[in-house]
Every structure is written in C-alpha cells, then in structure tokens.
Amino acid sequence: MVVTVPTDRLAADLGELPEDVELLVWPMDGPAPRGALDMVVPPYMSMKTVLSRLEGVETGLIQSQSIGYEGVEDLLPSGHVFANAASVHETSTAELAVGLAIAAQRRIDRFAVDTAGGRWESVFTESLADRRVLLLGWGGVGKAVAARLAGFEVDLTVVASRARVEDGMPVHGVDELPALLGDAEIVILTLPGGDSTHRLVDDAFLSALPDDALIVNVGRGSLIDTDALVAHLERGRVRAALDVTDPEPLPEGHPLWSLAGVLITPHVGGASSAMTPRIARLVRKQIDRLRAAEEPLNVVLRG
C-alpha cells in the first residue's frame, strides 16, 4: 500500500505504520512519484491548485485536509474518490467563531490598537452574555459552536436547511429566516458554500436585522453579498467579524479593510495546533480502513 502526504510534519505525526504501508512525502509540486497510489493527501490550503497533477494517476482515495469541497468536482480528474476532513477543523473553527464574537462585542480589536499606541482609554462595550444569537448551520462546526456558546448564557436559535429536532436542539428551517432575523443581535454563519447558500446574506437579510447586529462568518465568503454588507457597514447599520470573505484573499484597498465595525481574520478557522493531531488521526483511520477493504470515512465525491 502506497500513501503520500504533503509534508514531513504530517509524515512524522502518523507515527509507525504497518510494514505493508509505504509512506511518501509528495507536496504535489511535481509529477506523481508512482503511477498508482492507494491514498493521496494533498497540501492544506493550496489543494485546488494541484489536483490536476492526479491526471492519469490511479488512486484509491484522495483525502483532503479541509472540510469544504465546493468547486473540487470541477477540478478533480475523473475516476477518483474524494473525502473531506470532517472531524478535523470543527473544534478550531468553533473556537475562532466564539473568539470573533467576543472580540467584536468587547472591542478587543480597538484595545489591541490602543495597546500598540500606548493608550489607556476605557470603553463601555457590549456583552456576549444575554445576547440573542442566531446560528446558521447545524453540521459539525455549527454543533461545535453551540457547545462552546453553552457557557456564555446566550439565547440561541439554530437554523439549518430543514426544520427538525437533532441532538436535543430545536432546529428551524431556512424558510423560517424572515421571521427570525428581526430578533437576532448576533448572527454566526457556519454553512458550507455552494449554490444553495450563495449570497444567503443579501440586502434583504441585512435589512431585516436590528441596528448594530453583528455578523460572524466562519463558513464561506460566498454566503454574504459583499456589496450589500459594505453598504450596511457604511451606514453603521451592522458590524462584521469575518474569517472568510468574497473575494478571498481580500485585496488591498477593499472597503472592508477600512470600515468601522469590521474585524477580519485571514481564513484561519482551522489553522491552529488543534488541526495537527486530528488530521493525523483521520489519515491513520483511513489507512486502516483501506487495508481492511472497508469503506473510507467522509467520502463526498466519486469520480
């Protein structure tokens, strides 16, 4: 069995492998080391730019290091099985979502600037406690966000694609959004990208929110109509804390960089030390399953 990983670090994190597993470090910066590979783990943030190197290579499984996979189907050569990295990034992304909400509410971004400038200036800020939080998405990240919000004494409402009760949580369907937005002081977006969620947060969505509502996006930049968001930010209607944007990377000079009430992190939701052991565990599980001729975990595309 031949497995490739993109870095020496991940290779080391896998530990000792069975004798019948050959592990190769291939960052996909050149031709494949073999014509047939049982499993390929592409590089983390640049996966989409290198998938074409799998053309003509036989593979058993392509194991992504990301949860999201929108657009991959158009880039992945035919004949490959592709799995996402569910279970790897949920914890870290949920931490950042709650961290962004706290930072924006308590104006930690402003205090960081004051620290750099040597200024001591007290400001009365908004709390996270007692706020009405609307959480969009009840997948792995959404559930992880809800678990971390449990200790913050918020009034939580969850929305997903369809209404249901799951894991003891009443979940509203997306068709109920118009009736829910008027009460939402904080909106946290954890939804995936794709046609069904494209620009879900548009002018009508933003207009329905109360004044000074906070939008936190750790899902995908495409969830938000950026022009509509900029227009509302310019009027001081809403605030935003964004780990993902559209376009991305956010270009120099874009209005979002300079508007008041905006906090931006550069798509780092999953980029923490929590990722390292979790991606190693997932790759080890996939190796074990392939060796046992079992169905791999997290398969989302079949070429």
CA 38/CA 40 separation, integer angstroms:
7
198 is catalytic: no
- 267 is annotated as an active-site residue: yes
Three-state DSSP state, 252: coil
Cβ-in-10-Å burial (0-12, 13-18, 19+) of 151 comes to exposed
Instruction: Report d(CA 144, CA 43) in Å as an integer.
Output: 25
Model confidence pLDDT, tens digit, residues 94-108: 999 999 999 999 999
Instruction: Give the predicted TM-score (pTM) of the model.
Output: 0.93
Domain ranges across the chain: 2-88+272-302, 89-264
The catalytically annotated residue of 220, 232, 239, 278 is 220
216-233 burial, b for 16+ CB within 10 Å, e for fewer?
Answer: bbbbbbbbbbbebbbebb
User: What amino acid is encoded at 267 in this protein?
Assistant: H
- The DSSP annotation for 133-148 comes to EEEE--SHHHHHHHHH
From 248, 254, 284, 289, the catalytic residue: 248
Architecture of domain 2-88+272-302: 3-Layer(aba) Sandwich (3.40)
The pLDDT of residue 88:
97
pLDDT in tens, 161-174: 999 999 999 999 99
Residue type, 133: V
Take residue 70 and report the two structure tokens written for it: 């929108």
Residue among 162, 9, 254 at smallest CA distance from 242: 254
CB neighbourhood size of 48 (10 A): 16
Question: Does residue 80 have an active-site annotation?
Answer: no
What is the edge-to-edge ordering of all strands in the sheet holding 238-242? 164-166, 169-173, 155-160, 132-136, 186-189, 213-217, 238-242, 262-264
- Closest by Cα among 150, 198, 153 to 174: 198
Q: Do domains 2-88+272-302 and 89-264 have the same CATH topology?
A: yes
Q: Give the class (CATH, top level) of 89-264.
A: alpha beta
For residue 298, give the nearest of 54, 72, 63, 45 by alpha carbon: 63
The b-or-e profile of 92-128 (16+ CB within 10 A means b, else e) is bbbbbbbbbbebbbebbbbbeeeeeeeeeeeeeebeb
Calculated CA dihedral for residues 245, 54, 275, 92, nearest 10 degrees: 30
Digit-by-digit pLDDT tens for the chain (303 residues) are 999 999 999 999 999 999 999 999 999 999 999 999 999 999 998 898 999 999 999 999 999 999 989 889 999 988 899 999 999 999 999 999 999 999 999 999 999 999 999 999 999 999 999 999 999 999 999 999 999 999 999 999 999 999 999 999 999 999 999 999 999 999 999 999 999 999 999 999 999 999 999 999 999 999 999 999 999 999 999 999 999 999 999 999 999 999 999 999 999 999 999 999 999 999 999 999 999 999 999 999 997
Kindly tell me the burial class for residue 90, based on how many C-beta atoms sit within 10 Å of its own C-beta (0-12, 13-18, 19 or more). Answer: buried
